[in-house]
Amino acid sequence: MSDNGSILDVRNLTLEFQLRRGNLIGVDDVSFSMGAGETLGLVGESGAGKSTIAFALTKAPGFCGQNHLRRGYLQR
């Protein structure tokens, strides 16, 4: 648990994908925290990065090697 009582704390998360034609920022400057017993819903349009955030948080196999944390802070 972090100092502010959160069980999940994400600050300024930016994920960048390296493509043949250049880099693509898939998630840009996302911040949120979640306390014990709370429920969090990620809402957005198709392609907004909801699944990308979820995969990054769970460190899904094969996912984290294909992108990198450009900047930000994750604490579980």
Q: Above 60 in pLDDT, residue 68?
A: no
CA-CA distances (angstroms) from residue 61 to 14, 25, 66, 72?
19, 20, 10, 21
Among 63, 27, 31, which residue's Cα sits nearest to residue 48? 27
Residue 53, Ramachandran bin (φ over 0: left; ψ between -120 and 50: alpha; else beta): alpha
Listed by start position, the domains of the chain span 6-75
Q: What is the pLDDT of residues 19-57, one digit of tens each?
A: 889 888 888 999 999 999 999 999 999 989 898 888 888
Q: What per-residue confidence (pLDDT) applies to 73?
A: 60
